[in-house]
Amino acid sequence: MRVLTPTNVEEAVAMLAVEEDLIPMAGGTDLLVHWPEHLEARERGYLDLSGVESLRGMEWSDAFLTLGALTTYWEVVTDARVGREFRLMVEAARQVGAIQIQSRGTWAGNIANGSPAADGVPVLMAYGAEVELASAGGGARWVAMDSYYTDYKQSVKRPDELITRVRVPRAEYEIEVWEKVGSRRAQAISKVGLAITKGDEGWRVVAASMAPTIRRCAAIEKLLTKEAAINRPEDLLKAIGKDVSPIDDLRSTAAYRELTMARVVYHALKGRVSFVT
Amino acid sequence: MKRLEGNAKLLGREQYVDDLQVEGCLWGMTVRSPVARGRIKEIRFSPEIDWSEFVIVDHRDIPGANEVFLIEKDQPVLCAGEVRHVHEAVVLLAHPSREMARKGVRGVEVVVEELPAALDFRVEAEPARVQWGEDNSLSRLSINKGDVEAALASAAHVVEGVYESGAQEHVYLENQGMISWVDDDGVVVVQGSMQCPYYVLNALTHALGRDEAGCRVVQAPTGGGFGGKEDYPSNIACHAALLAMKAQKPVKIVYDRGEDMASTTKRHPSRVRHRTGVDESGRLVAQDIEVTLDGGAYVTLSPVVLSRGIIHAAGPYSCDNVRINGRAVLTNSVPYGAFRGFGAPQTLFALERHMDVVAKRIGMTPEEFRRINLIRDGQSTSTGQVIDDGTDRVGVMERGLELAAYERKREEHASFNATHDYLRRGIGFASFYHGAGFTGAGEVYLASKCHVAGLADGTIEVLTANTEMGQGATTVFLKIAAEAAGVDVSQVVIATPDTHRVPNSGPTVASRTSMVVGKLIEKAIDDLRAQIGAAADAKGAALTDAIRAWCSSNGAERVVGRSEYEKPPEVVWDEKTYTGHAYGTFAWATYVAEVEVDLRTDDVRVIDFVAVQEIGKVLNETLARGQIQGGVVQGIGWALMEECKWRDGAMANNQMTNYIIPTADDVCPIRVEFMENPYAHGAQGAKGIGELPIDGPAPAILNAVADALDVEPTAIPLTPEHLMELAREAHV
Ligand SMILES: Cc1cc2nc3c(=O)[nH]c(=O)nc-3n(C[C@H](O)[C@H](O)[C@H](O)COP(=O)(O)OP(=O)(O)OC[C@H]3O[C@@H](n4cnc5c(N)ncnc54)[C@H](O)[C@@H]3O)c2cc1C
């Protein structure tokens, strides 16, 4: 194992430019899970981000809440202001693993890891967040979370790019929902994850563990925008069928995921909007 | 009294196998079978690895018999020619570096010509898949009482049901591990995580072709067992010893979680079929029960698991006509082995779920139906064992229902369920019993021995082969010995189980340790008094002074009191007809579960749990409560979450992420109450309690789910996915 220890972003992206298969490391909670078995992973080079101070902390501006690439779940859980303005971020963070993981794991790591079952990503996507990707020579671009993933564990991020910041636009929401369906109440990977918001820009419905990537559900959003009458969970199944493609795996079944998603969406909105009864 | 080794464990100071630093130790690893069944054609060693750095052992290096010594000797220590399950041990490697050893394992390919495997114990094996006897039956046992067919023919109601349970992984905190070395006298020493040092010793002498003096087994601090360290440690101990003998260096084998889950034993999957006859008044008149267990690839302990399973299958009820046919079947999976409860949880799950199904069918409440049928003193169990202990079994049930506010909850649930959008609540219970100690004549065969030594300074040393594995055995032994000798616990020491020092007091299994071995400690102290000529009631200073005086006048460092198990005269068991005293005594219990089902997710949450049991005598309140609560949590996992998923005969979810056990957040407060009715042949009157608490939760919880919803679940684990299917079937 070889570890590089940059102290600022320029240095970090310069290192990535030279050696594109370096593995950035933030909290390490994803990277180290299979450490004992993945012998080949030990021969790789690691880019330890922990010394890059500018990647830490949160910042508020008029328009955005901005997280650094090293911001952890625990920082969000313990921040009252985030709790007031972005309730779902706190709710989701509290349900990541358990306290040990919440205090090491980062939002950026969750995004970069690209798991379709991630719990941080759906709420960010439902709040219309954007990710900053930086590269050598001062290059940086902002990418909307909902166009970040391209396929299972694939994204628009190039190997020479580093996630440096995540910004969440400040806005008012009438409806904010986060539901994690796991196989137990803590230390569980989502079988179904759902984040729903409705604000000035309309509905955002985000599903996790339902497709190769976490994604917006356009058909459900359309139903909700049209205010189509929804009288029972099954009324959502057609739209769900268009939006996502769940699978049978070690954790659950496609049939379970589909029906559960329908029921969770239904009950989350029932009585809160006039057309869901 | 606090746990003897509690602080060391809390502070992380306990030295488990993986923590023990041994000079010049090599890392041992295991190359395993890639398929469920086949003939080994070739073993290929990758040319990219420098094999001269490795110590390599295969079946040809076994000096004794290539057999793991147990009931039948059908399981090889290392496969020779044939493999019977995925992950079966074929070749062993050792290397000074753990990482290189791991790489080595990946550099060995076991080439196998596949043969048709038997993967489902519920289907009759076609001839090509038969590997044991005529039909893969590893064992068949039956119990017959009265005339079942006649009673069924004349019964007012006959109710049938089929119940199934899945494999369960032990998930002890500490994975399996052993260290072995050859000492200066040429003795092969094995130190490791285990429940039964003498089982390991027997396995070593058999496979290494040595006598007991040539092998020595020492228990290391053991991080949980639950039965998983009853039989499997014999395999890994032989492996470590073979490597150490060939290497002439110490060798340590410690499994990682994935390897441990994939390749070691689990709870037997089961299918139980009931046909029950009831008369007009709700009295049981016939119980016709068929029990099938999946035994896995080798016989191992399946015949005795089946035995305990069928003996508990008819439950704590009086019925004059009982027929129980049991069968354990070979399949090409890891051998199913000992696991807390040992067959009884499976058959009691089926029975107690079925009791509710029957009650409903005949229009009675579960409690009325059980009240009528629970064994009263003077009535007998299915084996004809007359129960006459004076315990008020109906009272145990009533107390459980009272503590759980059963009646009130039922009313509250009715209105809650009528109004809530998507939550449904229900309450259910199970009444059950668990026989303590070995079955039938088992304790007689064991002929357990115990020593208590008086040392020259007056200290009392207790020597048994029984192991502390987290359950608190040494703390309880300390208390039993201190109270029997009338001394402070600081004057008593418990010897580390080491087969060169301690006598064979039998395995630490079957809820026998406190009850049976605890009693032997008391008797050995009596013998110690006799040896030194102290009065039969000498206690405290009178006893320790007498020990000191005896040692000094005899110039001895110690004087040893001895005891050996003696069968209580009333315990009479006929192995051929399966009649008589199956157990010296039973603990009796009623567990009540309240659940909340989320109709959005089909998730079942246990929101209240009451466990009432009569256990003879509580030896240590905290430890006893801990045993019950731990068992209930394990039962909740078995009932609702823990599911081994199989792919071509191998466990696919052999990781803690995907094999779901409950976390602290998944468990509600577990309210425990004890009743005491001392048992004459148990230490201070105690009966065994280690296994009892795993018997009740699954049926209580499923009965509560049936109460909450309009479904009749019959299989565990009842995961949300399974409940969703069940609800769909029920409502189309
Ligand atoms: C016990 C346990 C429980 C868990 N439970 C949950 C859960 O409930 N929900 C959940 O969503 N996740 C869970 N996880 C996964 C993990 O904790 C989260 O995904 C976490 O957010 C990862 O953050 P990290 O900082 O630890 O990432 P790391 O492990 O450091 O990195 C993860 C990936 O992101 C890359 N990366 C990290 N930072 C950057 C960057 N700035 N730029 C580019 N690439 C980067 C790394 O190269 C790596 O590929 C769990 C993990 C464990 C071990």
Question: CATH no. for residue B450?
Answer: 3.30.365.10
Tokens of A4: 């590089």
Please tell me the distance between residue A211's alpha carbon and the centre of ligand 1 in angstroms.
Answer: 19
Give nearest CA residue, ligand 1 atom 4.
Answer: A97
In CATH terms, the fold of domain A173-269 is: Enolase-like; domain 1 (3.30.390)
Tokens of B509: 């299994």
Domain membership flag for residue B65: no
Please tell me the distance between residue B595's alpha carbon and the centre of ligand 1 in angstroms.
Answer: 34
Tokens of B364: 């009675």
pLDDT tens profile A186-230? 999 999 999 999 999 999 999 999 999 999 999 999 999 999 999
Residue A260 and residue B600: Cβ atoms within 8 Å? Answer: yes
Nearest Cα to B212, choosing from B504, B438, B423? B504
Q: CA-to-CA distance for A199 and B328, rounded, in angstroms?
A: 62
Query: Where do the domains of chain A lie?
Result: 173-269
pLDDT tens profile B299-347? 999 999 999 999 999 999 999 999 999 999 999 999 999 999 999 999 9
DSSP per-residue codes, B416-482: HHHH-SSEEEEEEEEEEEEEESSSTTHHHHH--EEEEEEETTS-EEEE-S---SSS-HHHHHHHHHH
pLDDT, greater one: A34 or B704: B704
Any ligand 1 atom below 6 A from CB of A26? yes
B554 shares a domain with B615: no
Structure confidence at residue B213 (pLDDT): 97
B730 shares a domain with B597: yes
Buried b (16+ CB within 10 A) or exposed e, B502-517: bbbbbbbbbbbbbbbb
Q: Report chain B's mean pLDDT, rounded to a whole number.
A: 97
Domain membership flag for residue B705: yes
Range of the domain at B504: 442-564
Give nearest CA residue, ligand 1 atom 1.
Answer: A97
Q: How far is CA A53 from the centre of its chain?
A: 23
Domain membership flag for residue B494: yes
pLDDT tens profile A150-161? 999 999 999 999
Contact assessment for residue B693 and residue B593, using Cβ atoms and an 8 Å cutoff: no
Neighbours of B47 (CB within 10 A): 8
Tokens of A32: 């180290």
Residue A98 and residue B421: Cβ atoms within 8 Å? Answer: no
Residue B660 and residue A188: Cβ atoms within 8 Å? Answer: yes
Tokens of B535: 């009065």
B451 shares a domain with B426: no
Closest atom of ligand 1 to A47 CA is 47
DSSP per-residue codes, B305-357: HHHHHHHHTT-SB--S-EEEEEEEEE-SSSPP---TTTTHHHHHHHHHHHHHH
Q: CA-to-CA distance for B693 and B434, rounded, in angstroms?
A: 9
The structure tokens 């409560």 sit at B625
Chain B residues near residue A98 by CB distance under 8 angstroms: 663
Is the backbone of residue B272 left (phi > 0), alpha (psi -120 to 50) or beta?
A: beta
Structure confidence at residue A40 (pLDDT): 79
The structure tokens 């029950």 sit at B276
Task: Assess whether pLDDT exceeds 80 at residue A36.
Answer: no
pLDDT band at B39 (very low <50, low <70, confident <90, very high): very high
Any ligand 1 atom below 6 A from CB of A7? no
Structure confidence at residue B580 (pLDDT): 97
Domain membership flag for residue B115: no
Closest atom of ligand 1 to A164 CA is 41
- Separation in Å, CA of A257 to nearest CA in chain B: 9
Domain membership flag for residue B465: yes
Q: What are the residue ranges of helices labelled H in B581-652?
A: 621-640
Q: CA-to-CA distance for B360 and B141, rounded, in angstroms?
A: 31
Amino acid in the structure at residue B162: V
Q: State how many domains chain B has.
A: 2
Residue B719 and residue A264: Cβ atoms within 8 Å? Answer: no
Which CA distances in Å does A53 have to A12, A49, A68, A70, A142?
12, 9, 9, 9, 21
Q: In B, what residues contact A, Cβ < 8 A? A: 99, 102-103, 106, 256, 258, 421-422, 599-603, 641, 645, 652-653, 657-658, 660, 662-666, 719-721, 724-725
Tokens of B481: 């010995």
Any ligand 1 atom below 6 A from CB of A112? yes
Which residue in B has a C-alpha nearest to residue A252's C-alpha? B721
Any ligand 1 atom below 6 A from CB of A119? yes
Classify strands B215-219 and B188-192 as parallel, antiparallel or unpaired.
parallel
B701 shares a domain with B611: yes
B516 shares a domain with B595: no
**Chain A with chain B: Cβ pairs closer than 8 A:** 61
Q: Which of B516, B532, B564 is the last residue of a domain?
A: B564
Give the single-character DSSP code of B647.
E
- Separation in Å, CA of B141 to nearest CA in chain A: 36
A270 near B CB under 8 A: yes
Q: CA-to-CA distance for B326 and B333, rounded, in angstroms?
A: 20
Judged by CB atoms within 8 Å, which residues 89-108 of A form the interface with B? 98
Share of chain B above pLDDT 70, in %: 100
A260 near B CB under 8 A: yes
Amino acid in the structure at residue B489: V
Nearest Cα to B91, choosing from B113, B68, B107? B107
Closest atom of ligand 1 to A55 CA is 41
pLDDT tens profile A95-130? 999 999 999 999 999 999 999 999 999 999 999 999
Instruction: Give the sheet arrangement for strand A2-4, strand by strand.
Output: A2-4, A45-48, A23-25
Provide the 3-class DSSP secondary structure of residue B708: helix
Q: CA-to-CA distance for B695 and B193, rounded, in angstroms?
A: 26
Contact assessment for residue B616 and residue B678, using Cβ atoms and an 8 Å cutoff: yes
The structure tokens 């070889």 sit at A2
Closest atom of ligand 1 to A69 CA is 41
CA atoms within 13 A on the CB side of B9: 16
Give nearest CA residue, ligand 1 atom 2.
Answer: A97
Domain membership flag for residue B58: no
A29 near B CB under 8 A: no
Share of chain B above pLDDT 90, in %: 98
pLDDT band at A41 (very low <50, low <70, confident <90, very high): confident
Compare CB distances from B645 to A185, A250, A267 and report the shortest one's residue. Answer: A250
B690 shares a domain with B595: yes
Tokens of B571: 């315990």
Which residue in A has a C-alpha nearest to residue B423's C-alpha? A267
Judged by CB atoms within 8 Å, which residues 156-195 of A form the interface with B? 181, 183-189, 192
- Separation in Å, CA of A220 to nearest CA in chain B: 18
Region B661-668: mean pLDDT is 96
Any ligand 1 atom below 6 A from CB of A101? yes
Handedness of CA B141, B144, B147, B148 (dihedral sign): negative
Neighbours of A193 (CB within 10 A): 28
Amino acid in the structure at residue B513: T
Provide the 3-class DSSP secondary structure of residue B496: coil
Task: Assess whether pLDDT exceeds 60 at residue B381.
Answer: yes
Q: Which of B534, B564, B594 is the last residue of a domain?
A: B564
pLDDT band at B730 (very low <50, low <70, confident <90, very high): confident
CA atoms within 13 A on the CB side of B11: 5
Region B196-201: mean pLDDT is 98
- Separation in Å, CA of A13 to nearest CA in chain B: 32
CB contact set of A114 (below 8 Å; sequence gap of 6+) = A149, A152, A153, A154, A155, A213
At how many degrees (to 10) do helices B393-403 and B366-373 cross? Answer: 160
Residue B6's φ and ψ, nearest 5 degrees, are -60, -45
Amino acid in the structure at residue B609: F
Which residue in B has a C-alpha nearest to residue A265's C-alpha? B600
Please tell me the distance between residue A59's alpha carbon and the centre of ligand 1 in angstroms.
Answer: 22
Region B253-272: mean pLDDT is 98
Share of chain A above pLDDT 90, in %: 94
Contact assessment for residue A201 and residue A172, using Cβ atoms and an 8 Å cutoff: no
Q: CA-to-CA distance for B118 and B99, rounded, in angstroms?
A: 35
Q: CA-to-CA distance for B605 and A251, rounded, in angstroms?
A: 18
- Separation in Å, CA of B254 to nearest CA in chain A: 13
The distance in angstroms from the start CA to the end CA of chain B is 57
Ligand 1, pocket-test mutation among A29, A70, A143, most atoms within 8 A of CB: A29
Any ligand 1 atom below 6 A from CB of A123? no
Chain B residues near residue A267 by CB distance under 8 angstroms: 421-422, 600
Ligand 1, pocket-test mutation among A44, A101, A141, most atoms within 8 A of CB: A101
B619 shares a domain with B600: yes
B725 shares a domain with B589: yes
Which CA distances in Å does B92 have to A237, B55, B103?
53, 8, 13
pLDDT band at A44 (very low <50, low <70, confident <90, very high): confident
Structure confidence at residue A37 (pLDDT): 72
DSSP per-residue codes, A26-51: SS-TTTTTTTTT-GGGGGSEEEEGGG
Any ligand 1 atom below 6 A from CB of A160? no
Instruction: Give the sheet arrangement for strand B177-182, strand by strand.
Output: B55-57, B89-95, B26-32, B251-254, B177-182, B188-192, B215-219
- Separation in Å, CA of A144 to nearest CA in chain B: 31
Q: What are the residue ranges of helices labelled H in B73-195?
A: 98-106, 148-154
Structure confidence at residue A6 (pLDDT): 98
B500 shares a domain with B614: no
Tokens of A267: 């009950």
Task: Assess whether pLDDT exceeds 60 at residue B408.
Answer: yes
Task: Assess whether pLDDT exceeds 90 at residue A22.
Answer: yes
Q: Whole-model pTM?
A: 0.97
Instruction: Give the sheet arrangement for strand B603-614, strand by strand.
Output: B423-436, B585-598, B603-614, B670-675
The structure tokens 């020092």 sit at B501
B620 shares a domain with B713: yes
Judged by CB atoms within 8 Å, which residues 69-88 of A form the interface with B? none
Residue B601 and residue A37: Cβ atoms within 8 Å? Answer: no
Chain A residues near residue B421 by CB distance under 8 angstroms: 267, 270
A3 near B CB under 8 A: no
Task: Assess whether pLDDT exceeds 60 at residue B732.
Answer: no
Task: Assess whether pLDDT exceeds 60 at residue B265.
Answer: yes
Please tell me the distance between residue A177's alpha carbon and the centre of ligand 1 in angstroms.
Answer: 23
B461 shares a domain with B429: no
Q: What's B503-540 look like in SS3? A: CCCCCCCCCCHHHHHHHHHHHHHHHHHHHCCCCCCCCC
Structure confidence at residue A34 (pLDDT): 76
B544 shares a domain with B642: no
Contact assessment for residue B427 and residue B409, using Cβ atoms and an 8 Å cutoff: yes
Contact assessment for residue B260 and residue B206, using Cβ atoms and an 8 Å cutoff: no
Any ligand 1 atom below 6 A from CB of A118? yes
Nearest Cα to B402, choosing from B358, B367, B365, B352? B367
Tokens of B74: 């059908």
Q: Where are the beta strands (DSSP E) in B166-315?
A: 177-182, 188-192, 215-219, 251-254, 270-278, 284-296
Any ligand 1 atom below 6 A from CB of A22? no
Region B345-365: mean pLDDT is 98
DSSP per-residue codes, B88-121: -EEEEEEESSHHHHHHHHHTEEEEEEE------T
Amino acid in the structure at residue B330: L
